[in-house]
Amino acid sequence: MNKEDKLSAEKLLKYLCIGATVEGISFYGPKLLLTESETNSKRLGDGQIYITIESEFAILQSKADTLPVFDDLPKRNAKDACKILCELSLMKIADVSLHDEIPHLLLTFETGEVLFICGHDNMYESWQAGFFGDSDGEYWEIVACPGDELAIWGPDDIG
């Protein structure tokens, strides 16, 4: 993963997610739906911040020095994944980070719990985060691509 892409993606993810609350899920993906925060609500306007999870994930009790290994993560169907993600309902995001080499996404909540989303897949996108809606023509999206790369679209003054 390119270091500059990582830094740009983290800035955009932090802008979109820090201070946001998990307000729901969409069942195809599954997709976490987040509220706007005090920091981004005026700029984003009407719409929805989202994180689509297309890889294995885990909810960790706290941030750890070592991350889960892909083969050790439970393989869940969409229904079971949504049940687990419902446990995050109304939790506020305190921090967002990406792993240094692989675009694993880590969302740290005010409770200290961490949603770890695996960012590695040889053939498919692992996760996407962004905003859809009326944002004055700005396009916001970060994608964990095959080959441990990132694709980033966002305003120049953020990323």
pTM tops 0.85: yes
Domains contained in the chain, number: 1
Q: Which residues of the chain have pLDDT under 70?
A: 135, 159
Identity at 38, one-letter amino acid code: E
- Phi/psi at 43 (5° precision): -75, -40
- pLDDT tens per residue across span 129-148: 999 887 677 889 999 999 99
Question: pLDDT of 46-59, one tens digit each?
Answer: 889 999 999 999 99
Residue 93 forms part of a structural domain: yes
pLDDT for position 135: 62
In-domain check, residue 97: yes
Containing structural domain, residue 136:
3-153
Q: Which of 55, 155, 72, 27 is nearest to 115 (CA)?
A: 55
